[in-house]
Chains A and B, each alone.
Chain A
Amino acid sequence: MDNWTFGWTLALIGAIGTMLVLWIMSLLILLIRKIFPYVPEDSAAKKG
């Protein structure tokens, strides 16, 4: 593999891989938010 092919392969796979991983990470954040929803302090205190 010459340097030019190496560069383009890395750039294409890297760019696609980056977008894919970042998208999965954004889904992961939404999942964490679902698992640990925000509870306002006053309602948490009432529960307590």
Chain B
Amino acid sequence: MESTLVAGLQGLFLGVLSLSIGHVTMLAIACLLLYLGISKGYEPLLLVPIGFGAILVNIPLADMMGKEGFLRFFYDAGVLTEVFPLLIFIGIGAMTDFQPLLQNPKIILLGAAGQFGIFLTLLLALALGMERLDAVAVAIIGACDGPTAIYVSSKFAPNMLGAVSVAAYSYMSLVPLIQPPIMRALTTQKERQIVMGAAKLQPISRATKIAFPIIVTIFASILAPKGAPLIGTVMLGNLLRESGCVERLKSAAENEITNIATLLLGLCIGATMAGGLALAAVDGVPNFNVDPSCQAAAQQAAAADSITVCRNSEQRARDEIARQWRQLNAADKAQCVPAAAAGGNPTYTELLTCLEMARDIRQLHGQGQPTTTGQGVK
């Protein structure tokens, strides 16, 4: 009776006892994101769900990103499949008026400015020692383009999704603060007082507006097939807008689809900001007590030197993991360390096997080389 009561009371405090520094740190960061979104108005549409998602995922034992967690469901269905950013792109297409571009096609070259931002950021990221695909994901921030940064990160560096998304949207929301001093530095007061009249531009036919998204989709997708989902969804949204015959679909793309996708995408991005993941990326090789596991193995083997053989084998596995630790993918580490420790008697052999399998799966998907040294764990 007494032991049952004690166990029950312990159960009440299990969540508190399971709180780690990682959880507390990430909960504080989540609250900061909520503060920036709600009080400062920095991209609240995204920062509020991101902040709340980060709170949910850092509640100990709630396991929201576990196998059956509801955040895991949305993450797998919408982020890993890259569907959420694409749904947002349909909305962006439906909200975009391409008439000024169609009237004055030369202004399309201004789009190159965003691309130069990407390449500059890519070089900076590589100079800072980032892995190639991680640098590619970070580089998209340079274009000041949130949905594309999320899309590229979820494709090439899912382990960086949270950090890239928050950085991209923080950067975008800070543009009104960053731009004015630069503009003041580069122009005179007289230049800033010039009033620009509206240019007399040729009107555009409805057929042109309808043909534009169709032809651009075909041309750009043939030229860059990997970019077809991005350009295709933007242009689909724009076709809904310009066709003028699917008002309900256009309205849904602009409102319901975009809003639902933004909410779930924000929650999922926040869900990638688990304390365990952040710590796995910065911590060293975990310290496991392999003795219980080796003693159990020695009892089963009934050989005198079994425990020594087991310990030596574990030490070799640990050395191998330590050798590769810095090059291993952070998401794999975040997944494998808790998995190896889950049974209560963690072993380095289990951890090594898990990391090898994760690496092999990554390589099967064509992502292995950039997230490791290319050699992985042998």
Check if B106 sits within 8 Å of A26, measured CB to CB: yes
Q: Is A45 engaged at the interface, CB distance under 8 Å to the other chain?
A: no
Closest to A24 in B: B219
- What chain A residues lie within 8 Å of B135 (beta carbons)? 3, 7
Measured CB to CB, the nearest residue on chain A to B120 is A11
Tell me if B's interface is mostly helix, strand, loop or mixed.
Answer: helix
Q: Which one of B11-19, B63-71, B109-117, B281-289 contacts A?
A: B109-117
Name the prevailing secondary structure of the A interface residues.
Answer: helix
B215 contacts partner chain A, Cβ-Cβ < 8 Å: yes
- Residues of the B chain whose Cβ atoms lie less than 8 Å from the Cβ of A26: 105-106, 108-109
Closest to A11 in B: B119
Neighbouring B residues of A36 by C-beta, 8 Å: 205, 207-208, 211
Size category, A interface: 20 to 34
- Whether a CB of chain A sits under 8 angstroms from the CB of B216 is yes
Residues 123-142 of B, flagged 1 when their CB comes within 8 A of A and 0 if not, give: 10011000010010000000
Cβ–Cβ < 8 Å partners of B115 in chain A: 14-15, 18
In the assembled complex, B269 has its CB within 8 A of some CB on chain A: no
Give min CB distance, B102 to chain A, whole Å: 6
Given A28-B216, A36-B208, also A19-B123 (CB < 8 A): no
Q: Which residues of B contact A (CB under 8 A)?
A: 101-102, 105-106, 108-109, 111-112, 115-116, 118-120, 122-123, 126-127, 132, 135, 202-205, 207-208, 211-212, 215-216, 219-220, 223
